[in-house]
Structure 1
């Protein structure tokens, strides 16, 4: 797949990453549904979670997109929310996780 994004993650998280990625995909679907309903509070809650969790797991781009999504939700910008949700989905489609030994 073109434009792969390599993310190095601590091997101690290897059991958690598949579920985490599946949950982020579910979050994107919820964002699309919420923006259709103009439920920007729901988008904001999910965006805040994406922002925090991305950095916790080492997905800095996810954190950046989450931050932008949070702002778009706060300003009730449905077009930006949709665009950013698509960017997050594209990112998830392109990311390749490489597990690294834990650093002492």
Structure 2
């Protein structure tokens, strides 16, 4: 489930960048809201924080802030390393 969730966040990054070029703040707001709601459920509180920031940026129509946050999100995803532990 985790690899699929993270792959979807990469899709969000691409879609947010495209939406930003079109000034489609509604699409960015929806993506941010979704990340804000789902990140913690998958154990990624940082993704929740990025989602909240993107949602806020979209509400305020602040392109520079959104651009900064979506790039920070991509850097976070690029550096993320997942390890699994077996439970007995």
- Report TM bin, short chain: over 0.9
Q: SS state of the match for residue 82, structure 2?
A: strand
Instruction: Return the structure number with greater relative CO, CA threshold 8 A, min gap 6.
Output: 1
- Hey, which of these two has a bigger chunk of strand by percent? 1
After superposing on structure 2, the runs of 4+ consecutive aligned residues of structure 1 that deviate more than 4 Å are none
- In structure 2, relative to structure 1, the CA distance for the partners of 1:22 and 1:80 (3 Å cut) is same
For residue 17 of structure 1, report the CA deviation from its aligned partner. Answer: 1.0
Q: How many residues are paired up?
A: 87
For residue 99 of structure 1, report the CA deviation from its aligned partner. Answer: 2.4
What is aligned with 1:31?
16
What is aligned with 1:20?
5
Root-mean-square deviation (CA), in Å? Answer: 1.1
- Hey, which of these two has a bigger chunk of helix by percent? 2
Q: TM-score scaled to structure 2, two decimals?
A: 0.93
**Which structure 2 residue ranges, 5 or more long, are not aligned?**
none
